[in-house]
Amino acid sequence: MPSRLIRFNKPYGVLSQFTPEGRWRGLKDFIDIPGVYVAGRLDADSEGLLLLTDDGQLQARIADPRFKMEKTYWVQVEGVPTEEALAALREGVQLNDGLTRPARARLLDPPPDVWVRQPPIRERKSIPTAWLELAISEGRNRQVRRMTAAVGLPTLRLIRAAIGPHTLDGLAPGAWAE
């Protein structure tokens, strides 16, 4: 039997697990398919593409950093990125757990056409925001948020747009497709 691969657009406030915890909802509120497991994680306060499969080897290829499957994020940051900040992201950023691998980083102008987040992000009238596309091939805890903060651009909103060849295309928040 061929393995199953589910693309899911994880909304804000949903955990990368089936069981809810505290104020966070679980995947069982959206996906009722027995025998599939999450391949990789996405924090409850992050949105976007989550892959689920019933194939353990496929799950490992997607999630394990040794396989270096690139993950692409759209990141709304506070402030306007300088060329120096983008260059630092491209070269690798020093974090408290070591230097990150080089990332692909670019300003998204115009910003991506994304859904309104519930609840909305906090915006300050005096500080502009911008959207970046950041592609990384490792998966440290809260890595994208820590990388943007390290170059002076705090993350306001984080959406995973792609994992390798798999994208969010055609998926509304909370929707999934096989």
Instruction: Kindly list the catalytic residues.
Output: 43
Nearest by Cα to 88 from 47, 147, 146? 147
Residue whose pair of structure tokens reads 């496929």 in the numeric block: 58
The pair of structure tokens assigned to 95 is 């974090």
Q: Report d(CA 79, CA 27) in Å as an integer.
A: 33
Backbone phi and psi for residue 46, each to the nearest 5 degrees, phi listed first: -110, 155
Identity (one letter) of the amino acid at 6? I
Contact 164, 70 (CB under 8 A): yes
Q: Please, what is the end-to-end C-alpha distance for the chain in angstroms?
A: 15
Contact 37, 46 (CB under 8 A): no
Identity (one letter) of the amino acid at 54? D
Q: Report d(CA 169, CA 157) in Å as an integer.
A: 19
